[in-house]
Amino acid sequence: MNKWTKFVACLVAALGLFHAASVQAVIHSGTICQPWAGSQGSDIWADYNRILNNSSDTRIVSCPLVRTNTTNTNGTSMVYVRVERSSLATQSLSCSLYSFDLLGGYVESDFATYSGIGRTSLYLDVDSSASVGYYGIYCYLPEYSSIFSIRVEEF
Amino acid sequence: MKTLNRLSLVLALGWIPIAVYWFVQHPDGDRPEEPASAASHASTTGQLTPQVVPGPVDPAPAQAPPTATPDATEDVRALRRELDALRQDVSRLQGSLASIAAAVATPVEAATDDPWPPEHETDAHFEAESAARDRREQAIENAMALERPDPGWSRDAREVIHDAINSEELAGARLLDVDCRASICRVEALHESPESVAHFQHLFPARVGELMPRSTMRVHDEGQGVTRSVVYLAREGYRLPQGVP
């Protein structure tokens, strides 16, 4: 390993440590998600510490997120939604991260989608947030698909 | 001269009956006893005196027989020690009471110092938030003004937006205007009810998210229950301008 390789490796390690020190992370179980419509409650199961759409149609779920840094206005560092799209699904699995002000006013949103089969992570982040506002996630969950967890990284 | 001698003799002899009378009345030459004499007597026998213990003195010890004097001295010393100990106990208790009173008083004082309403519930806070949103909206408008439409992408984006707003899911929204440039689209829609606004806010971004994942929105009250929303959407791979803080 020559000196430049060592220098780059040290730089990357230092940046990684700086990032880890400056970001606050909270991980939620997928079971925090709730059906968008109460009438669809029986289709959404909270089994095995995940949320599952156990119906043959797409369902929307709403997931509240705990905000640790309550006053920053530059949004989130990154939000990871760990999901599984069933092989029986006919539509894509998509999620939107929303940033609201404290009275529910829309500030910003980001969207990600997955059309493959199996497990993956959707990456979302918003660049703007309101001081003492809040975050939420909405997902279009195709048939027999799941959300396992949501990791929220804040500045 | 004879007269003067007689007078001198009468004056000299005249004192004799007076002296006899006084002698008969006070045969021992005693005087009435003063209270201080009792006190001085007690002090010489080791009894409590007013100088040692304030307050009324029990006359009984002063009348105790001489054989009790040594025990009484020990008692006084023991009582003094006990008194000193009690004084120390009282002092400690006063200190404890003071600290308890201070601890109880502290939260009340802190609570009264908290501003009400909290900073994040004041009009100033809401005005600052609104001003920040205005600055961002202006920054996005400025960026759009510098862009020219991307013919292919702009057309696709407009189609996706029209399809979304005309969908059954967003039936409560009426499209007013669409303007798509190279990386940003601006959408204006009208809503007849608060429910329609909330539905649009939560579902429209997802309906157009594949082509334009990032969005921000402002809502304007047009009066008589009508609301106008302005949505800015960023092309995939682009971010919306933030504006000057």
pLDDT for res B16 = 62
Instruction: Pick the residue from chain A with its C-alpha nearest to B239.
Output: A127
B58, pLDDT greater than 50: no
**Adjacent-strand bridge partners of A76:** A154
- Looking at residue B118, what is its pLDDT? 82
**Mean pLDDT value across chain A:** 90
Closest CA to B212 of A96, A153, A122: A96
* Statement: residue B45 has pLDDT above 60: no
Q: Is B170 on the interface with A (CB under 8 A)?
A: no
Q: For a pLDDT cut of 70, what percent of chain B falls above it?
A: 65
Residue of A nearest to B213 (CA): A111
| Cα three-residue angle A12-A18-A24, rounded to 5 degrees | 130
Would you call B214 and A111 a contact, using CB atoms and an 8 Å cutoff? Answer: yes
Q: What is the mean pLDDT of residues B142-157?
A: 95
**Per-residue pLDDT, B31:** 45
Q: How far is B201 from chain A (nearest CA, A)?
A: 7
Tens digits of residue pLDDT in B191-206:
989 889 988 998 999 9
CB pair distance less than 8 Å for A110 and B120: no
Q: Cα dist. B180→A108, A111, B13, B160, B183 in Å?
A: 18, 19, 153, 11, 8
Amino acid at B163: D
User: Phi and psi dihedrals of B23, rounded to 5?
Assistant: -65, -40
Is residue A124 within 8 Å of A83, Cβ to Cβ? Answer: no
Confidence bin at B61 (pLDDT 50/70/90):
very low
Chain A touched by B217 (CB under 8 Å): yes
Residue A23 pLDDT greater than 60, yes or no: yes
Q: Any chain A CB within 8 A of the CB of B241?
A: no
Q: Best residue in A76, A108, A115 to probe B by mutation, most B CBs within 10 Å?
A: A108
Position B29 pLDDT exceeds 60: no
Edge to edge, the sheet with strand B214-223 lists A34-35, A59-65, A134-141, A93-100, A106-114, B214-223, B226-234, B184-191, B173-180
- Residue B167: band (very low, low, confident or very high) from pLDDT cuts 50, 70, 90: very high
Which of the four pLDDT bands, split at 50, 70 and 90, describes residue B96? Answer: confident
Chain A residue with minimum CA distance to B234: A110
- Comparing CB atoms, the residue among B120, B214, B217 nearest residue A110 is B214
A113: which chain B residues are within 8 Å (Cβ-Cβ)? 209-210
Interchain contact, B210 vs A140, CB within 8 Å: no
**pLDDT for residue A145 is more than 90:** yes
Q: Which of A26-30, A80-84, B200-204 has the lowest mean pLDDT?
A: B200-204
Q: A127 vs B136: CB contact, 8 Å cut-off?
A: no
Share of chain A above pLDDT 70, in %: 86
Between A19 and B33, residue with greater pLDDT: A19
CA dihedral B155, B158, B160, B161 (to 10 degrees): 170
pLDDT at B18: 61
Is B120 in contact with A132 (Cβ distance < 8 A)? yes
Cβ–Cβ contact B132 with A under 8 A: yes
